[in-house]
Amino acid sequence: MSDNTKDLITREEALAYHSEGRRGKIEVIPSKPCSTQRDLSLAYTPGVAEPCREIEKDPGNSFLYTARNNLVAVITNGTAVLGLGNIGPRAAKPVMEGKGVLFKQFADIDVFDIEVDAEDPDDLINVVERIHTTFGGINLEDIKAPDCFKVEQELVEKLNIPVFHDDQHGTAIITTAALINAMELVQKKYEDIQIVFSGAGAAAIACAKMVMELGVPKKNITLCDRRGVIFTGREKTEEHRAFFAKETSKRTLAEAMEGADVFVGLSGKDVVSPEMLKSMSEKPIVFAMSNPDPEIRYELAKEARPDAILATGRSDYPNQVNNVLGFPFIFRGTLDVGALRINEPMKMAAARALAELARQPVPQKVRDAYDGIELSFGPEYIIPKPMDPRVLWWVAPAVAQAAVESGVAHRPITDMDAYRDHLKKLLVDRKY
């Protein structure tokens, strides 16, 4: 089954898209009039001195008199870019610009992309700490594990603005939303299921920790990396992976999948065979999310296990687990209440909002965006589509409310209905 995905683009088309006309994908434009002498006097000297004085009195006024309240830094050192690996900060810039486009397109959030030439995590932390006063939030991107854990943790502790590593938590939030709905369909209990992860990097570890919040016992989670099952006592196991080490005689991914209820793939192409799927329990949940090539091809998985609920990271199959369903809207809600951080209640609120939205009737205009295909809650629709505009006013208010209730909102919103109405109007006049 295919969505409205167009024919595969060519290398030439991709390069032309990025190089023709104004090069790259983003630009900075004034948000206030600047066409008269009076405008210039307000924008710069002498008028600009007044907000400077107010911010000097109270640094918090920087959120009132500058673009900081709607400005996110997308920051990378280019050490783990998509499936390309450690390609460096310069080669990572097209991806970070793309991230900026998505922030603006889906949630009207402005972005400066910052590519830092610093492989040492301490150097990267130092750079971000020194420039954070420019921004309302920090989105860390494409930083290799285990460095990404240290970078995020230290910045969360040091800064008074939200810091979010999307490769970890964005993936975890969307995966959790999909799992909530898949579990509803197969009618299994969290405390009873066995989950196997193929891949034990930042995304997999974040996903595993988040499903524990749903009620899955840690002992029911099996992580597998390139060396196989992460078991108690295994030598040379990195500390974040070792957290999930378990007492087991199983040593391979194939052995781990025998009788498993859920498979979550965040590893690589074709590491799962049809026989491995056939060894799983009845009505298995299979999230093969390696992109662009999943752990097992959708058609093979469907043939091997017609009773499975399947999801991938691709847009040309049902149930695309796509981070764009998360980060723009999570930051939108976070910025709008002036949250000091993005905490666990906010992440779970986002996941549950996405899950609930997928159970609602889908408007015709959303179906039209996907060639009119049928979209209704069921095995082939457990997660909203990225082009569904309702995600904005479902997820952002849920995150904002969770921030208020958990005590991290500096500027609480008291009328969430009015806030939802505001969000519905937010993108009406967008340029693209």
Describe the crossing of helices 121-131 and 147-158 by its angle, rounded to 10 degrees: 30
Residue 346, classed as helix, strand or coil, is: helix
How far, in Å, CA of 123 to CA of 110, rounded? 25
For residue 350, count CB atoms less than 10 angstroms from its CB and return exposed for 0-12, middle for 13-18, buried for 19 or more. Answer: buried
For residue 217, give Cα distances in angstroms to 34, 91, 189: 59, 41, 11
**Cis bond upstream, residue 146 (ω within 30):** yes
Q: Which two tokens stand for residue 93?
A: 């810039």
Q: Which two tokens stand for residue 15?
A: 């390069």
Q: Which two tokens stand for residue 222?
A: 């099996």
Q: Which two tokens stand for residue 331?
A: 């930051």
How far, in Å, CA of 163 to CA of 155, rounded? 7
Active-site annotation holder among 25, 32, 99, 283: 99
Q: What DSSP element (H or E) covers 381?
A: none
∠ CA(155), CA(161), CA(162), 5° rounding?
75
Q: What DSSP element (H or E) covers 49?
A: helix 49-57
Residue 110, classed as helix, strand or coil, is: strand
User: Is residue 44 annotated as part of the catalytic site, yes or no?
Assistant: yes
Active-site annotation holder among 17, 44, 278, 424: 44
Task: Give the residue numbers marked as catalytic.
Answer: 44, 99
